[in-house]
Amino acid sequence: MRKTYLYQTKINKTTEANCNQWLEICRTLYNLALEQRISIYKQHGKSISLYQQMSQLPELKQSFPEFKTVGSQCLQDVLQRLDKAFKGFYQRLKERPSKAGFPRFKSKNRYDSFTLKQSGWRLEGRYLYIKNVGRFKLFLSRPIEGDIKTVTIRRTSTGKWFIAFSCDNVPVEKLSDTPAEIGIDVGIKSFCLDSEANQIQNPKHLEKSLKLLRRRQRSLSRKKKGSRRRNKARILVAKAHEKVVNQRKDFLHKVANLYIKAYNTIYVEDLNIKGMIRNRYLSRSIADSSWGMFFNLLSYKAAEAGRTVVKVTPNGTSQICSGCGEKVPKSLSVRVHQCPFCKLVLDRDHNASLNILRLGQSLPALSTERVFA
């Protein structure tokens, strides 16, 4: 299987300066390639392809010697990123023409990573050496397994540096078989409630940090643009957001591991999260809950452990009685399910999780459209 290992790294000032120089060169190439595509389309009514732009790299290096310091595969990756951005734009143009999102030029703080492939680097123990850049000391929290295909150096908004190794042929470590199955209903008040009535509270990390974020963002807005004080204030805002992201990821990893270790088959709802976020009253709470990230974590952890995650249609899971199957309409504010037909009384989310489990078990076969892993 394909897997990415992410490590924080420690570098000296010379290596950091070289990294920033590479990022600036890559950003310049990205903007030049984007400008070229726009100009050619305006003049001739057609765009230039990825391979045509790649073929012009040797000529670019002759005209601008600073591009010679960056590896050729790294420069090719920049053009591949731009091509991927245009493919995404064309796809969105078919789905939502009014909000397609044309690829934008990258400012200094919006290009923060570069990628190396099979050459220009070597790994010796806990140290990574990159040609024309320097040495990176890795904090190896776990060993790297499989064949390394790409190495990505990334700078965060707070000034930290991370290295991601994308590896292929990573051995799968399957867990012991268990016949246990469970349905999970995610929510806002409680993060999730499963079909065995286990409830996990929503930590609401963003909501707890809003007061600090408001104070720091107001301070940032009062600083003069381009000043050193504004940059310091920007870093403080970025650190507050970074802490929220780290807390959220830690919580989601722990919850996903809890279910992957205990159950062989996990049934979840196939939610249209992008559509739900458009609700202006609940958008921030839904985004803070990060259901999509939770489902993605369940997906890759299930693939690694030999488990199965199945998506079921969410229509009616909260309205149908799990005891008798009759429809009991209720608004979102009603948190207790009370069936007038079979007299069943239980938590609304528990009722939904039982319906999710029943729907998942009733599927005739685990089709690829419904299965994560």
* Residue 311 belongs to domain spanning: 181-201+256-362
Q: What is the mean pLDDT of residues 252-261?
A: 96
Task: Please tell me whether residues 309 and 267 are part of one structural domain.
Answer: yes
Asked if residue 39 lies in contact with residue 203, where contact means CB atoms within 8 angstroms, the answer is no
Boundary residue ending a domain (168, 191, 218): 168
pLDDT above 80 for 364: no
Q: Are 259 and 373 in contact (CB under 8 A)?
A: no
Say yes or no: 144 and 185 in one domain: no
**pLDDT in the model for residue 176:** 87
User: Domain for residue 213, yes or no?
Assistant: no
Q: Decide: 207 and 288 in contact? Cβ < 8 Å.
A: yes
Please say if the pLDDT value at position 98 is more than 90. no
Find residue 121's DSSP bridge partners.
Answer: 130
Q: Which of 83, 194, 269, 288 is catalytic?
A: 269
Q: What domain count does the chain have?
A: 2
- Check residue 369 and give its pLDDT: 39
Catalytic residue among 185, 194, 288, 304: 185
Percent pLDDT > 70 in the chain is 98
User: 192 and 305 share a domain?
Assistant: yes
CA–CA gap between residue 299 and residue 203 (Å, rounded): 22
Residue 233, pLDDT above cutoff 90: yes
- Is position 349 annotated as part of the catalytic site? yes
Gap between the Cα atoms of 66 and 216, Å rounded:
39
pLDDT band, very low/low/confident/very high, at 20 (cuts 50, 70, 90): very high
C-alpha to C-alpha distance for 82 and 34, rounded to whole angstroms = 7
Rounded to whole angstroms, the Cα distance separating 127 from 134 reads: 10
- Residue 343 backbone class (left: φ over 0; alpha: ψ -120 to 50; beta: rest): left
Does 341 score more than 80 pLDDT?
yes
CA-based nearest residue to 349, from 365, 334, 364: 334
The answer to whether residue 349 scores a pLDDT higher than 60 is yes
pLDDT for residue 370? 45
Q: How far apart are the C-alpha atoms of 371 and 197, rounded to whole Å?
A: 24
102 assigned to some structural domain: yes
37-56 pLDDT, tens digit per residue, is 999 999 999 889 999 999 99
Question: How far apart, in whole angstroms, are the C-alpha atoms of residue 204 and residue 81?
Answer: 34
**Statement to judge: residues 28 and 106 lie in one domain:** yes
3-class secondary-structure state, position 27:
helix
Q: Is residue 320 helix, strand or coil?
A: strand
Answer yes or no: do 340 and 275 share one domain. yes
Which residue did the predictor score with more confidence, 15 or 46? Answer: 15
In-domain check, residue 219 = no
Domain contains 54: yes
Domain membership of residue 174 (yes or no) is no
Q: Identify how many contiguous H helices and E strands the chain contains and give both numbers.
A: 10, 14
Tokens of 137: 């000391």
Query: Alpha-carbon distance 359 to 347, whole Å?
Result: 19
Q: Is residue 239, in this structure, part of any structural domain at all?
A: no
Label residue 368 by pLDDT band (50, 70, 90): very low
**Could you tell me if 164 and 313 lie in one domain?**
no
Looking at the structure, tell me whether residues 24 and 123 fall in a common domain.
yes
CA–CA distances in Å: residue 275 to residues 165, 271, 283, 314: 34, 9, 10, 14
> Are residues 74 and 22 in contact, defined by beta-carbon separation less than 8 angstroms?
yes
Residue 145 known to be catalytic: no
- What secondary structure letter does DSSP report for 237? H
Residues 138 and 72 in one domain: yes
Residue 77 is a catalytic residue: no
Mean of all residue pLDDT scores within the chain: 92
Residue 365: per-residue pLDDT: 57
Give the H or E element holding residue 135: strand 134-138
